[in-house]
Amino acid sequence: MKSTAVKSVFDVAEIRAQFPILKELVHGRPLVYFDNAATSQKPRRVIKAESAYYATINANVHRGVHTLSTKATEAQEAARETIRRHINAKHAHEVIFTSGTTASLNLAAFSLGQLLLKKGDEVLISGMEHHANIVPWQMVCERYGATLRVIPITSSGEWDLSIANSLIADSAACKILAVSHVSNTLGTINPIKELIAEAKKRGIITVVDGAQAIAHLDVDVQDFGCDLYAFSGHKAYGPTGTGVLYGREELLERMPPWQGGGEMIDVVTFAKTTYAKLPFKFEAGTPHIAGIIGLGEAFRWMEDYDKAAMAAHEQTLLEHATKELLTIDGLRIIGTAKEKVGVISFVIDGVHHYDLGTLLDQQGIAVRTGHHCTQPLMERFGVSGTTRASFACFNTEEEIDSMISATRKAVKMLR
């Protein structure tokens, strides 16, 4: 069960007070941080948890009988249990620690490729994927002679579900479906449960990139029915260099490890090595222990608040930003799906996104510019890049108004 001390009233001022970085000045102006889809900021208790490990424990896990090693192991495994609870995994050993979503997806691709793929097989992804959910699958397809197929994206930035379903139903060669839960560029919330159900009917293994969903949506891996679900800590108020790959126990038992070394072994001889039980089979080497402890604290912090209230606040920000941005002459929003999280990508006629981002930074406003590691998606919409504003629970409508004012000022300078 999640924390019983959930705060039912959402107080954005109280939340903001927990983020030290929000008191910083950028170019002499108060920081307005709208780059949460790249990396979210961290509440004070997460920073303290990571620091406290180095100050009071700082020992390796699972490898010593001394007191500090025991404390480190207990703290890391407590984080694993917290995450298991948060995503409703059946077992704690189904939670694999990695360095981030990219590492999780590479683990999935290279292990599943070895387990499942042969010449003539197919891997199905979508046209809105992050490069981390494209390139690893390209690599394994090339290695095993499989084919990568792509679900097309509609003009509103959604999956074309009729084509997606036909790609699944009409191909006996499809072995893996790997798709994003939420688009990092468009903010689109994808109907993963529906597509996973179709894939499961045909025995297709399902992999979900949850990097942009984990901080904003309720994630229940048993309800989704997915085989693997990947996410990062740094987009969910946790430390950088931390991530998770959830895997269904039966599948993880079959999957070969993708890295060898210490901790992931049972017995090593020069003739043969046998591997450790889950989850350690996939956790070779010394992990980012301090980061994992901080990651657990980030999830406990989120559980102290009403997730629905947080989501409602972020939805209000999205609606306000959408309305105000569209009052700017020549501005076009890329991605107008009915279901979105707080992410807006936009272009402005006659204004390069890089120039706009630079001028916004001069006014203390942090946004992301470029292709957002989704070059095929940019090509689909006929743009080289966008300006992206992405919101977190600590952002406010007043900050959005500051961005709108700063954007108008920048546009006047650039046209």
Cβ atoms of residues 195 and 162 within 8 Å: no
Is beta strand 122-126 parallel, antiparallel or unpaired with respect to 147-151? parallel
Report H helices in 333-396.
353-362, 375-381
Identity at 389, one-letter amino acid code: A
Q: Which residue from 174, 238, 258, 244 is spatially nearest to 209, judged by alpha carbons?
A: 244
Strand partners, 188: 340
Q: Which helix (H) or strand (E) holds 186?
A: none
Q: Is-contact 151 125, C-beta < 8 A?
A: yes
Q: How far is CA 132 from the centre of its chain?
A: 11
The pair of structure tokens assigned to 151 is 């679900």
Task: Enumerate the β-bridge partners of residue 231.
Answer: 244
**Catalytic residue from among 141, 174, 226, 373:** 373
Pairing of β 205-209 and β 243-247: unpaired
Token couple for 353: 């996104």
Burial class (CB in 10 A: 0-12, 13-18, 19+), 341: buried
Distance CA 135, CA 143 (A): 12
Alpha helices (H) along 170-288: 192-201, 221-224, 249-254
Map residue 148 onto helix, strand or coil.
strand
393 is catalytic: no
Q: Please choose, from the candidates 184, 102, 169, the residue with its C-alpha nearest in 3D space to the C-alpha of residue 135.
A: 102
Contacts 24+ apart (CB under 8 A), 197-201: 197/225, 198/165, 198/168, 198/169, 199/168, 199/174, 200/225
- Active-site residue set: 373
